[in-house]
Amino acid sequence: MGGASNTQWELEEGIPQQDDPFIQQYLRGRTSLIVEEQKQRHDFTLRKALSPIAATACKIVSKIRDRDLTQHPSGPVENSDLWRILHRMPKGSLLHAHLNTLVDVGFLVDLAFTTPGICIAAPSPFVVDSDYESAPFYFRHSSQSEETEEPTLWESSYRPTTLTPLQKAASTFPKGGEPAFREWLRTRFGLHPESTRYDSTHSAASIIDSLLTYEPILRACLHRVFSQLAADGIKYVEIRNSFEIPFRREGNNEPDEDSFMDWCRVFQEEVNSFKTTDAGQTFHGARVIWTATRISSNRCVFDDMVQCILAKTEFPDVVCGFDVVGRDSNRSLTDLVPILFWFRRQCMEEGVDIPFFFHAGEQLSGALSESDAFDAILLGTRRIGHGLSLYRHPLLIDLTKEKKILLECCPVPEAGAQSVPLSALLSRGASVALCNDVPSTSTESMNTMTSTFWKTFESEHMGLTDLAMMAENSVRWSCFTDQPTKEWVSELREGILGEGTKALRLKEWYSEFERFCEWVALEFAEVDIED
């Protein structure tokens, strides 16, 4: 039956037509409803403000992403058009990172071998296969690390905690000598496939930290990290660092009494040094969020807090905040509230401002884990690390929006568990920044923020404005300078219209994003963006 006949039949039966006034009124109402829903999304304002060239670039990038998803280009992803685009994109700041996850493991292994005096030790010998998979061990510098006749940790007669020179441990490694030993170290420095993410990351972190607490290795790793971040489009980073393992100065077997002060001094020197290099000319800097461990006793947390305040007094440009880390199902923030109140009062008495940046809602299971998000908000956290569970709490999402609290989202490689929370949070208009706190497990390029942006863009139904908004958020919520709460919130609201350092950084990012969009439009002009 033809179209004309269908129309005639519909008219005869009294079926309304598309151009009837009340049908048009319905369609206008439908369009208005869609627009109202879109206003709830996190990137609505940015979409409205896009220049014509930026809008074109957004369409091009979406087309390239869709093409890659359907055609599956051959070769390494690093050679794909989408990777090239995201690598070039200005990514703002990295706000959630741990130094022990930022260093690529291949570099760290090589550095351990080339640093004089590095030894390896363990609480007990490695005698069965499971020891090689998960038994603890650590590194330590010794100025008396010449060859000895002492049994190595691979022998049952090994005396616990005896230092074995690294080269000797490598050459006597029973599973294949030095080449196999190096590969084993790279494996233990990363995520273990048989462990939970937290247990594996914590185990790797403690091993890596035993290297990073020796001055020559810390200096080399900081320079390496800053160089890689700058090359990846990151201009500022805030690193969470735990000071559980005492820091040792170059050539020293034992730490100084206030070794954390030495660590802060080295950190500040390396930041300043990198900014004078060609690679660091546009790098805005790095600061530290001091972290205590949740599972520690109140006395240990107290000692951490005292050291944090002392470090802030001596190195105000280094320390920018305080956090407690560790599995939130082990000890809740509620349990820590009394000592956190003491810390806040002590900061006031000492005349320092050290805001909170709490991990909370990191896991998707467990009421205790989810309850931490309530405490974090009530305690005045400026950002929430992870915040996965918030998507199940509409009121908490509304509170983060009202109180201008950013969520630091750290997508997990090869795990889809985070995709639902991220999509839900963005659709509700939560402020999110993409971060990366997972140890390097593969190639150097796959542990970059480009990799994080690429994985998120490939796995989620998003556009370039989604990524751009999260990058802009990372700049907006950066602690470039110390600010009391009122000034902090005021600058967040003013954004690019403000007059402080943050407004300047935002203007810079928007200019870079516009130039990036111009490059995309020219470089990929052949892409057909017509539907």
**66-107, pLDDT tens digit by residue?**
888 777 667 778 888 999 999 999 999 999 999 998 998 999
Give the Cα separation of 396 and 418 in Å (integer). Answer: 18
Predicted local distance difference test score (pLDDT) of residue 202: 59
DSSP β-ladder status, 138-141 and 319-325: unpaired
Q: What percent of the chain has pLDDT over 70?
A: 90
Give the Cα separation of 127 and 489 in Å (integer). Answer: 56
Contact between 181 and 166 (Cβ < 8 Å): no
More confident residue, 198 or 171: 171
Give the Cα separation of 425 and 432 in Å (integer). Answer: 8
Which residues neighbour 380 within 8 Å (Cβ) at sequence distance 6 or greater? 355, 356, 485
Is the pLDDT reported for residue 367 higher than 70? no
Contact between 373 and 399 (Cβ < 8 Å): no
Q: Which domains does the chain have, with CATH numbers?
A: 77-100+237-518 (3.20.20.140), 116-201 (no CATH)
Is the pLDDT reported for residue 443 higher than 50? no
pLDDT tens per residue, range 448-476: 899 999 988 887 678 999 999 999 999 99
Q: Which residue reads 């900081």 in tokens?
A: 222
Give the Cα separation of 99 and 242 in Å (integer). Answer: 9
Mean per-residue pLDDT, 416-442: 76
Give the Cα separation of 205 and 194 in Å (integer). Answer: 17
Give the Cα separation of 167 and 144 in Å (integer). Answer: 14
Contact between 359 and 409 (Cβ < 8 Å): no
DSSP β-ladder status, 138-141 and 118-121: antiparallel
Q: How confident is the model at residue 53 (pLDDT cuts 50, 70, 90)?
A: very high
Is the pLDDT reported for residue 257 higher than 70? yes
DSSP β-ladder status, 406-409 and 432-434: parallel
Q: Which of 104, 61, 56 is nearest to 81 (CA)?
A: 61
Ranked by mean pLDDT, the top range of 48-62, 201-215, 307-321, 455-469 is 307-321
Is the pLDDT reported for residue 148 higher than 90? no
Is the pLDDT reported for residue 310 higher than 60? yes
Whether this model's pTM surpasses 0.85: yes
Average pLDDT of the residues of the chain: 89
Is the pLDDT reported for residue 201 higher than 60? no
Give the Cα separation of 153 and 125 in Å (integer). Answer: 5
pLDDT tens per residue, range 311-343: 999 999 999 999 998 865 568 899 999 999 999
More confident residue, 69 or 525: 525
Predicted local distance difference test score (pLDDT) of residue 369: 59
Predicted local distance difference test score (pLDDT) of residue 196: 45
Q: Which of 309, 306, 303, 338 is nearest to 321 (CA)?
A: 309
